[in-house]
Chains A and B, each alone.
Chain A
């Protein structure tokens, strides 16, 4: 059997990646799994509540303009509602895409790059969104009165 050794070496190489690389025990994946279920239920309420109030109550979709949004965000209830919706949706979505990347990316480099882009997108949207909700000025000076909510004086 002169061909024996070379052929065996060829068969050996694909086996190596199959050993489990390291033990990664801990409750992280457990909490992430529970979070996905819990946030999913909360998001159902938040999103359909949001859609109902914006699109169906009163004049419905035709009422949406700067004044409508400004009026909503003048109330702390809607600030908390939208902030919660933003954060939960972003964490829920990011975690879901993270799972998909883990499942489908076969190379560690690809996985790392994709996750880096994902977390960057997450950070940009969450920071920007939070900033808007908290620093939003309902009555910017010098704008036409018919666009502003009714409680704006001057």
Chain B
């Protein structure tokens, strides 16, 4: 089998190649209740991402390595993982950017139950997303044409429309790690997207939901979420804007 593969592909000769060690957190409930670290060493190019290295491991070394990925281009939000202690998308992180001289640690995102290896149960995350009602709420008759909105009104919530629900922010939040009761940054970001949409009329309902003991008031402004967001959303700022909207509503 291996004889058919020519080890150094001549076409990639101009791109510097190097060996890199990935230290992957493995967990298989059918084998053991304990999670363990396993090192894999792969040959990689300067243009390779963490996801390419994981593919190489899965395809050539250990087919049992389990992780999620769908589009592999930073849009679907499937492959958020903890790389060298920071939440990133494996498909947007180049190996050369996370110091390949030392072993690169790859773990599942924290605070959500691990199903196997790098796959976590996203249900608690989506449960709080559903709670903030992420859909347009209006009253009155359906308009016969589109709902108009000025560019200024659209710009008001532009930042929070970029969310891809990868859970990198929520699973980077220390408050969420404790007991998972906190709504989490992602749910608040998606509530923000509708609260500040001039076409939406469910703003006060959503504010009421997030006024919960486990809502925006549990945010400690540690900025972990802003740092973790692969889309560059200013998550903490969005949370503070929701807080401000609640305070101006209450007084």
Contacts and interface: CB of A to CB of B under 8 A. Distances in A.
B166 to A, nearest CB: 18
A103 B220 contact: yes
Contacts of A104: 178
B30 A7 contact: yes
Given A14-B113, A15-B121, A20-B128, A34 B178 contact: no
A18 interface: yes
Given A17-B179, A103-B175, A103-B178, A29 B243 contact: no
Given A17-B180, A25-B208, A26-B211, A32 B217 contact: yes
B246 A15 contact: no
A128 B217 CA distance: 32
Contacts, number: 68
A70 B215 CA distance: 48
Contacts of A52: none
Contacts of A30: 211, 217, 246-247, 250
A10 interface: yes
Interface in A90-129: 102-106
Interface in A1-36: 3, 7, 10-11, 14-15, 17-21, 23-30, 32-34
Interface of A: 3, 7, 10-11, 14-15, 17-21, 23-30, 32-34, 102-106
